[in-house]
Amino acid sequence: MAKKKSGGSNMGLIITLVFFVLTTVILGVTTYMGYSEIDVKETAKKDAEKQKGLSDKEAKFYRMRDRIVRAWVGKSVGGVEPTETQREKKAFDDNPQAGATTDNEKKERDEVAKFYKELNDVMPWDAGKDAAPSLTYEQRLGKANADIAEWKLKTKKAEEAVKKVEADKKDSEDAKDKEIAAHKKSYDDFSKKLDGELKTGLAEIGAKRALADEEAKKRSELAIQKDAATREAAKLDRELKEVKSKLVAANNDRKTAISNHDDIKSKYDTLLELTGKDKGAIEAASLDAKAREVLETWTKSWRVVELDRRGDNAYISLGSNDGLTSQVTFSIHSVGPNGKLNPNPKGTVEVVRIMGSNQALAKITSVKDAKKDPILKGDRLFNPTWDPNRQRRVAIAGIADLGGDTTDSSDDFRRLLSRQKVILDAYVDTNQKDKKPTLVGKGVTINTDYLIIGEGLESVGDSRYKEKPYADEFTRLLGKLKEDAKNNGVPVISLRRYLDMIGYQPPKIITTPSR
Predicted pLDDT at 510 = 40
Q: Which CATH architecture has domain 291-383?
A: Beta Barrel (2.40)
pLDDT greater than 90 at residue 423: yes
Q: How far apart are CA 90 and CA 73, in angstroms?
A: 18
Query: Edge-to-edge strand order for the sheet containing 329-333?
Result: 304-307, 313-316, 359-367, 347-356, 329-333, 380-382
Give the rounded percent of residues in the chain with a pLDDT score beyond 70.
Answer: 83
pLDDT greater than 50 at residue 363: yes
Phi and psi (nearest 5°) for 389? Answer: -100, -20
| Per-residue confidence band for 251, with pLDDT thresholds at 50, 70 and 90 | low
How long is the chain?
515
pLDDT greater than 80 at residue 289: no
Which range scores top for mean pLDDT: 237-241, 352-356, 462-466? Answer: 352-356
Query: Across 313-422, where does the E strand assignment appear?
Result: 313-316, 329-333, 347-356, 359-367, 380-382, 393-397
Predicted pLDDT at 511 = 40
| Per-residue confidence band for 4, with pLDDT thresholds at 50, 70 and 90 | very low
Q: Please classify residue 373 by burial: count the beta carbons closer than 10 Å to its beta carbon, then call 0-12 exposed, 13-18 middle and 19+ buried.
A: middle
State the angle between helix axes of 2-73 and 82-94 in degrees (0 to 180), rounded to the nearest 10.
110
| Per-residue confidence band for 44, with pLDDT thresholds at 50, 70 and 90 | low
99: left (phi over 0), alpha (psi -120 to 50) or beta: left
State the angle between helix axes of 279-287 and 137-218 in degrees (0 to 180), rounded to the nearest 10.
100
Which three-class secondary structure state does DSSP give residue 87?
helix
- Residue range 301-327: average pLDDT? 92
State the angle between helix axes of 495-502 and 279-287 in degrees (0 to 180), rounded to the nearest 10.
70
CATH match for 389-508 among 3.80.10.10, 3.40.640.10, 3.40.50.10190, 3.10.129.10: 3.40.50.10190
pLDDT greater than 70 at residue 19: yes
- Residue range 275-303: average pLDDT? 66
pLDDT greater than 80 at residue 187: no
Specify the higher pLDDT residue, 449 or 54.
Answer: 449
- Residue range 189-211: average pLDDT? 80
Q: Please write the tens of the pLDDT for every residue from 125-164.
A: 888 888 788 788 788 888 888 888 888 998 888 888 888 8
Domain segments of the chain: what residues? Answer: 12-122, 165-284, 291-383, 389-508
* CA gyration radius, the chain: 51
> Considering all CA atoms of the chain, what is the largest pairwise distance in Å, rounded to the nearest integer?
230
pLDDT greater than 80 at residue 106: yes
Which range scores top for mean pLDDT: 105-109, 351-355, 435-439, 502-506? Answer: 351-355
Predicted pLDDT at 16 = 76
**Lowest mean pLDDT across 92-106, 233-247, 336-350, 490-504:** 233-247
| Cα 74 from chain centre | 38
pTM above threshold 0.85: no
Per the CB < 8 A criterion, the answer to whether 492 and 479 are in contact is no
pLDDT greater than 70 at residue 272: no
Closest CA to 279 of 262, 292, 266: 266
CA distances, 394 to each of 85, 256, 453, 479, 485 (Å): 71, 44, 11, 16, 11
Specify the higher pLDDT residue, 210 or 440.
Answer: 440
Q: Please write the tens of the pLDDT for every residue from 370-421.
A: 899 999 999 999 998 898 888 999 999 999 998 888 889 999 999 999 999 9
The per-residue pLDDT of the chain, averaged, comes to 81
| Per-residue confidence band for 256, with pLDDT thresholds at 50, 70 and 90 | low
pLDDT greater than 80 at residue 293: no
